[in-house]
A and B are shown apart, each in its own frame.
Chain A
Amino acid sequence: MATLEIRDLHVNVLTDDAPKEILRGVDLTIAGNETHAIMGPNGSGKSTLAYSLAGHPKYQVTSGTVTLDGEDVLAMTVDERARAGLFLAMQYPVEVPGVSTSNFLRTAATAVRGQAPAIRTWVKEVNAAMADLEIDPVFSERSVNEGFSGGEKKRHEILQLALLKPKIAVLDETDSGLDVDALRIVSDGVNRYKAASAEAGEAVGIMLITHYTRILRYITPDRVHVFAGGRVVESGGPELAEELETNGYVRFTGVGAGA
C-alpha cells in the first residue's frame, strides 16, 4: 500500500507575464485504499494541484514537498512519476493525432510495467477493459482522443487507469460534463479498479477532484476536503459533502458554488 504525502506545497503558474501563485500551502496525505474527495469552486487551484503532482512544466513548485512512499516525487521527471505509480486522469485529455489508441495503450503499459505485456493476454485485457467501460472496439484504431466526445475522453482516461494500475490515482473532474449514464459507467470503472487493486494487495489511493457532489453518490469518499484559495481549508467525512450540497462553497469563499 502506497502513501502520497503533500506538505506545504506552494506552486506558481508560469504565464506570459509574471508567475502567479496559485497553491498556497497544500497539506494532504492519501494512503492506499483511501478515497479523498477534493471539492472546491472553479479557479480554486484543483487542477493546478493535479498538474503539479504529475509534473506539468507550466507549474513551478516554489516550496513544499511531495513524496510517494518516502520517495521525492518533485525530483522525478513526468514519465518517472507515472512509472513510480502516479496517475492523472485529466480534466481535458489531450488529442494526439496520428498515434492510434491501441499503440498508445501498449506503449504506456510497456513503460509502466517495465516490459511489454504478452500480446495474447494483453489483447484480452484491453478488450475486457474496453467492454467494461462500454467503449466501442473501433476506438483502438482511432488516434488518441482525436474527435472523441467529452464523455468518450473521460472513459478513455479511466480505461488507462484500469490498464496502467497506478498506486495513486488523481482524477481531475472526471465527472464534469458527463450525463447520468456516462457518470455511472465511469464511476463503476473507478470502483472496479479500486476493488481489483485492493484484492491484488496494491490498494490504490484515490484523489477525486470534483466541483459537484453528484459523483459522490457513486464513489464513496473516506474523506472530503474543501479546497479554496489554493489550499485545503476544511477536512471531514462524507457529511462535509452533504453540507456543500446544501450550502455551496459560500462559507469558505464568500461566494456560491456556482451552477
Chain B
Amino acid sequence: MATGALDLEAGTQSGQPTGQHGLTAHSHGGEGLASQHPGERQSPGTQVRSGVAADHPVTTGKEEAWRFTPLRRLRGLHDDAPLDGVPLTVSATAPDGVTVSELTGAAAREIRGVSGYLPTERVEARAFESAPRSVLVDVPAQTELTEPVRIALVGQAGEAATANHLLIRIGAQATAQVVLTSTGSATLTDIVEIVVGEGAHATVAVLGEWSSDTVAVSRHHIQVGRDATVKHVALAFGGDLTRLYTSVDYTGPGGDAELLGLYFADEGQHLEHRLMVRHTAPHCRSNVLYKGALQGKSAHTVWVGDVAIERTAEGTDTYELNRNLLLTRGARADSVPNLEIETGEIVGAGHASATGRFDDEQLFYLLSRGIPEATARRLVVRGFFGEVLQRIGVPVLVERATEIIEQELAVTGA
C-alpha cells in the first residue's frame, strides 16, 4: 500500500475509478528521500535466485507478487504440473544477417541466464530447468535492420503444460526490432531474456493473441548495456489468464529503457503485468507507460510497476504511468506503482496511476451530438490507446493492435 507520502492515487485501485481527472503525478526531487515502499519490494535480493525449481517454495498466493493472481486457474504451473505438453511451434522471418536457431541439451542450457537473469519464482525456474529447447535470436554487432525480425509462437497443447525459453541478443551498436506474436492454445511458462549490447537500439515487442483458453505465465528480463536504448512493448489481448513480469537491469551508464504496454480484458479474463526496473548504474533512464481497457463481467487487470533507484544510480531519470479505462461495470483494474529511492542525486522520479470509467455522462454527451453509440465508444477507446500506439514505432504491430482493438469493441456491440 502507499505510504502517507503518496496520496490515494498511488495506492491499489480496485476498479474504483478515480474519475477521469484523477491522474496525479508524483514527483520526487533529489532531496535524499528515504525508501518509500520497503514492504513491497518484489526485486530479487531477498528472494531466492535459482534455476532449480526445487530451490523455490511452492507459491501459495499469499506472496506480495502473487496476491492478485488466481492460482486456481494456473493449472499447477506454479506447483508441479508436468511440463510434458506439445511444445510451442516457432517460426521466424528474419532479415539477412540475423540468425534464429533452436537449441537443445547442453547448448540450450548454456545460454540460459546469459542476461544475468536467474529465476526468482518457482514457475520460472521450472521453465529455466526443463524447457524442451531454447530459441536464440542473434543480431550481430553493428547490424542495422530496416525490417523487424518476426517470431511466431503457436501453442499446440491446450491443457497439457509446456515451457519455453528464448534469448534475444542484440549486439553492440546494432539497430533492430524483434516482434514476437503468440497465438494458439497453451498452458505455458516461458522466459524471454533480452540482452541489448553497448550503444545498441532495440525494440522487442510481444503481441499476445492467445486463444481464450490459454494460461501463460511469462518472465522477461532485459539487460541494458552501456548507452543502449531499448523499447519493450507488451500487448495483451488473448488468453484466459496471462501474466508477464518484466524486469530491467542496467550494466552501465547511459542506458535507456522505454516500457510500453497495452491490454484489453474481456469478460472473465485476467491480464496481469508486473515490472521491476532496477537502477543500479548512474545516468540511466526508464519510462513506463501502460494503458488498459476492460469490459465485461469479471474482466480483471493487474498492473504493478516497481522502480528502484539504488544508491549507486545517480543521475537517474524515471517516470511510470498506468491508466485504465473501465468500459462496463463489473470489471476490475488493480494498479500499484511503487518507487524506491536510495539516492538524492537524481534527475527526476515520478509515477502516476489512474483508473477511470467511460461513464454515462460522457456517453450521453457524445450521443447528444448525433454520434452513434458504437462510434462513441471507439472514439473514446482509440483516443485512450492512441498515446501508447503512437510510441510503439513498429507499423505492422500498430496496425494489428488497432485491428484487434476494433474487434474487441465489436464484441460487446457496444
| Chain A residues near B (Cβ < 8 Å) | 54-57, 77-79, 81-83, 88, 90, 93-100, 103-104, 107-108, 111-112, 143-144, 146, 160, 164
> B residues 11-45 with Cβ under 8 Å of A?
20-21
Q: A97-B20, A98-B384, A99-B380 are in contact. Are A78 and B375 (CB under 8 A)?
A: no
A88 to B362, CA, bound (A): 14
Closest CB in chain B relative to A161 CB, distance in Å? 11
Q: A82-B367, A82-B370, A98-B384 are in contact. Are A107 and B379 (CB under 8 A)?
A: yes
Q: Is the CB of B371 within 8 A of A54?
A: no
User: Pick the contact of A94 from B21, B356, B361, B384 — CB < 8 Å?
Assistant: B361
User: Pick the contact of B370 from A56, A94, A98, A111 — CB < 8 Å?
Assistant: A111
**Contact indicator per residue, chain B 369-405, by CB within 8 Å of chain A (1) or not (0):** 1111101000110011010000000000000000000
| 7 A–B pairs (Cβ distance < 8 Å), ordered by A | A79-B372, A96-B380, A98-B383, A98-B386, A99-B380, A99-B383, A107-B375
Which residues of A lie under 8 Å from residue B383 when comparing CB positions? 97-100, 103, 143
| 5 interchain residue pairs of minimum CB distance | A98-B383, A82-B370, A108-B369, A94-B365, A78-B367
A153 to B148, CA, bound (A): 45
Which residues of B lie under 8 Å from residue A99 when comparing CB positions? 366, 379-380, 383
Q: Is the CB of A111 within 8 A of B369?
A: yes
| Chain B residues near A (Cβ < 8 Å) | 20-21, 356, 360-362, 364-373, 375, 379-380, 383-384, 386
Which residues of B lie under 8 Å from residue A81 when comparing CB positions? 368
A57 to B367, CA, bound (A): 11
Q: Is the CB of B364 within 8 A of A104?
A: no
Q: Is the CB of A82 within 8 A of B386?
A: no
A54 to B375, CA, bound (A): 18
User: Pick the contact of B365 from A90, A111, A112, A143 — CB < 8 Å?
Assistant: A90
Q: Is the CB of B366 within 8 A of A104?
A: yes
Which residues of B lie under 8 Å from residue A90 when comparing CB positions? 365, 368
Q: Is the CB of A107 within 8 A of B371?
A: yes
Which residues of A lie under 8 Å from residue B360 when comparing CB positions? 57
| A-B residue pair count with CB separations less than 8 angstroms | 80
Closest CB in chain B relative to A83 CB, distance in Å? 5
Closest CB in chain B relative to A141 CB, distance in Å? 12
A111 to B370, CA, bound (A): 6
Of all chain A residues, the one with the shortest Cβ separation from B378 is: A107
A82 to B370, CA, bound (A): 5
Q: Is the CB of A96 within 8 A of B366?
A: yes
Q: Is the CB of B379 within 8 A of A104?
A: yes
Of all chain A residues, the one with the shortest Cβ separation from B365 is: A94
A94 to B383, CA, bound (A): 16
Given A95-B21, A107-B375, A112-B370, 19 other A-B residues pairs in contact with their CB atoms under 8 A: A55-B368, A56-B364, A57-B360, A78-B368, A82-B368, A82-B370, A88-B368, A90-B365, A90-B368, A95-B362, A96-B366, A97-B21, A98-B380, A98-B383, A99-B366, A99-B380, A100-B383, A107-B379, A164-B370
Closest CB in chain A relative to B226 CB, distance in Å? 38
User: Pick the contact of B369 from A56, A77, A97, A164 — CB < 8 Å?
Assistant: A164
Which residues of A lie under 8 Å from residue B370 when comparing CB positions? 79, 82-83, 108, 111-112, 164
Q: A95-B20, A97-B356, A100-B383 are in contact. Are A111 and B375 (CB under 8 A)?
A: yes
Of all chain B residues, the one with the shortest Cβ separation from A56 is: B364
A70 to B224, CA, bound (A): 70
A96 to B386, CA, bound (A): 15
Which residues of A lie under 8 Å from residue B379 when comparing CB positions? 99, 103-104, 107
Q: Is the CB of A94 within 8 A of B375?
A: no
